[in-house]
C-alpha cells in the first residue's frame, strides 16, 4: 500500500543523530523523503548510519560537539551548502547526570554544569543556527528532545530535570519570537526508552528495564511484560508528526510521549 512521504524534499539536521533516539529519527525522516544530516560527536556510528540510510535516501555525517558554537554552525552550513536549504532541526543531543547525584548534597557541580552545557547550551546553539538560516528561507520546524521529567518528579537527578525544564522554557520563548518568521518550535518529552544511555544510567539490562518501566511503572498495559513496550521509534514518530506539514499550525507544544505515566505519577 502507498505510504505518504511526509518530509519529501525537506532537509533535516539531527544533533546526536548517530545512536539512540536520534538514529531512529534519522531513519524515519529519511524513509519519509528527507535529506538527513547526522550531527554527532561519534564518527564511527555516525558514518555507518549515514551509509545505511544512503542506500535508500540522502544522508551525511558531520562531526558536531553541540557545546561548540563553530561545530553547530558548521553542521547547519553543511546542510545548506549540500542541499540548498534547511527545513527541520531536531535538537536531540543530550546527556544524563551521574546516577550517584540523585541527592542535592551529593550533586557534583562539574557534573551539573556538564549536563547543562550539553542539554541546554547545546539546544540553544542548535536553535540559534537553525533560525539563522530558516529566517531567510521562509520558515521551518525546530523540535527539541525534552523528557517527561518536565511533568514527573523525584526519580531522576536534579541536573537532568532542571535542564529539560530549561529546554521547554526555551522552546516556548522561541515559539513566540520565531512565529513571525514562519518557524514552528515544539518539544517532545518521552518516557524512558532502553537506549544505551538509559541502560547505563539505570544499570539494568534491556529485559530488566522493560519489566521495571513498562510493567511496574508504566501506565499503558498490554500483553508483553504486562505493559506496552515503548520504543525509540515511537519517539521518532512523535517528532515526525511535529516537523511535518500536517502540523503546520502547531507551535509551542511540549508533546508528552509517555503513555500517561506522568499523570499516573503526579
Active site residue 262: no
DSSP letter for 222, please: -
* Grid cell for residue 160: 537532568
Ordered alpha helix ranges (H), 117-205: 122-137, 158-178, 196-202
Grid cell 539531527 is found at: 14
Active site residue 24: no
Q: Would you say how long the chain is, in residues?
A: 266
**DSSP E strand stretches across the chain:** 11-15, 35-40, 59-63, 88-91, 140-145, 183-190, 254-257
- CA distances for 233 relative to 156, 162, 190, 193, 200, angstroms: 23, 26, 11, 10, 20
Neighbours of 198 (CB within 10 A): 17
* Grid cell for residue 111: 557534573
User: Of the residues 160, 163, 189, 262, which is catalytic?
Assistant: 160
User: Of the residues 24, 147, 189, 247, which is catalytic?
Assistant: 147
Active site residue 164: yes
Neighbours of 176 (CB within 10 A): 11
Separation of CA 147 from chain center: 9
Taking the C-alpha atoms of residue 191 and residue 213, their distance in angstroms, rounded to an integer, is 9
User: Of the residues 164, 187, 213, 214, which is catalytic?
Assistant: 164
DSSP string, 2-13: ----TTTT-EEE
Q: Which residues are known catalytic residues?
A: 147, 160, 164
Amino acid at each position: 500500500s502507498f505510504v505518504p512521504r511526509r518530509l519529501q524534499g525537506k532537509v533535516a539536521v539531527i544533533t546526536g543523530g548517530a545512536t539512540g533516539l536520534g538514529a531512529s529519527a534519522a531513519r524515519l525522516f529519511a524513509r519519509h523523503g528527507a535529506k538527513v544530516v547526522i550531527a554527532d560527536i561519534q564518527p564511527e556510528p555516525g558514518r555507518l548510519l549515514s551509509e545505511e540510510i544512503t542506500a535508500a535516501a540522502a544522508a551525511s555525517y558531520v562531526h558536531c560537539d553541540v557545546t561548540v558554537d563553530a561545530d553547530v554552525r558548521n553542521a547547519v552550513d553543511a546542510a545548506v551548502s549540500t542541499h540548498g536549504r534547511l527545513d527541520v532541526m531536531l535538537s536531540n543531543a543530550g546527556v544524563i547526570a551521574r546516577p550517584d547525584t540523585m541527592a542535592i548534597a551529593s550533586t557534583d557541580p562539574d557534573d551539573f554544569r556538564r549536563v547543562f552545557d550539553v542539554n541546554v547550551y547545546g539546544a540553544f546553539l542548535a536553535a540559534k543556527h537553525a533560525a539563522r538560516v530558516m529566517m531567510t528561507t521562509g520558515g521551518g520546524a525546530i523540535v527539541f528532545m525534552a523528557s517527561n521529567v518536565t511533568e514527573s518528579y523525584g526519580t531522576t537527578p536534579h541536573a537532568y530535570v532542571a535542564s529539560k525544564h530549561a529546554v521547554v522554557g526555551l522552546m516556548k520563548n522561541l515559539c513566540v519570537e520565531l512565529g513571525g518568521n514562519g518557524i514552528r518550535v515544539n518539544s517532545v518529552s518521552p518516557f524512558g526508552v532502553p537506549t544505551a544511555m538509559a541502560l547505563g544510567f539505570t544499570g539494568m539490562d534491556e529485559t530488566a528495564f522493560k519489566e521495571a518501566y513498562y510493567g511496574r511503572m508504566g501506565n499503558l498495559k498490554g500483553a508483553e511484560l504486562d505493559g506496552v513496550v515503548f520504543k525509540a521509534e515511537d519517539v521518532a514518530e512523535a517528532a515526525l508528526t511535529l516537523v511535518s506539514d500536517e502540523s503546520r499550525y502547531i507551535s509551542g507544544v511540549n508533546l508528552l510521549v509517555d503513555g500517561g505515566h506522568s499523570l499516573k505519577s503526579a
